[in-house]
Amino acid sequence: MLVADLVSKHFIDAALPLGESAQFLPGFIDIVTVHNTGAAWGIFADSQVVLIVLSFIFITVFVWLMFAEKAKNPLFHIALGLIFAGSLGNLVDRLAFGYVRDFLHFEFWQSFPVFNIADICLTIGVIMLIIYFIISFVKKSKKKEKIEKEN
């Protein structure tokens, strides 16, 4: 996913001037080149140092979690892998260019921010991680109830 993110950003940047757009899936998604100096929805705009430091912290935490968590559940590891790839893809942009190269835009939802493959990875990874923790919590609760009933 990291390679897909960086390669897609490279080709879109090379093919389409900044601010220009092109139809991709008519009525659904178009391609528009945007240089984002902030995070989602432009929060922390022009705060590259803060965003770079936060990216390093998140990446470190996710790598630590991958090795510290004894979970054999593939959902957990896929979620962390997606979050890691997304964080690293946007971090590479911030370090190399001082902004993140975004290019995907929903035509039917004009107010939704322009995004990239790294953002998709982050979103799906976070949703998967939340699902993993909910499942784990439910399993632990049921196990605890079972133990209490046996005693």
DSSP for 15-76 reads HS-TT-EEEEETTTEEEEEEEESSSGGGTTTT-HHHHHHHHHHHHHHHHHHHHH-----HHH
Residue 101, CA distances (Å) to 10, 43, 59, 80, 136 in order: 9, 16, 19, 22, 36
**Average pLDDT value over all residues in the chain:** 89
More confident residue, 130 or 38: 130
Q: Is the dihedral of CA 48, 54, 56, 58 positive or negative?
A: negative
pTM, full prediction: 0.83
From the candidates 5, 30, 46, 119, give the one annotated as an active-site residue.
119
Q: Residue 115: pLDDT above 80?
A: yes
Which pLDDT score is estimated for 66? 77
Which pLDDT score is estimated for 42? 66
From the candidates 5, 30, 46, 102, give the one annotated as an active-site residue.
102
At a CB cut-off of 8 Å and minimum separation 6, what does 3 contact? none
93 is catalytic: no
| pLDDT-based confidence at residue 151 (cuts at 50, 70, 90) | low
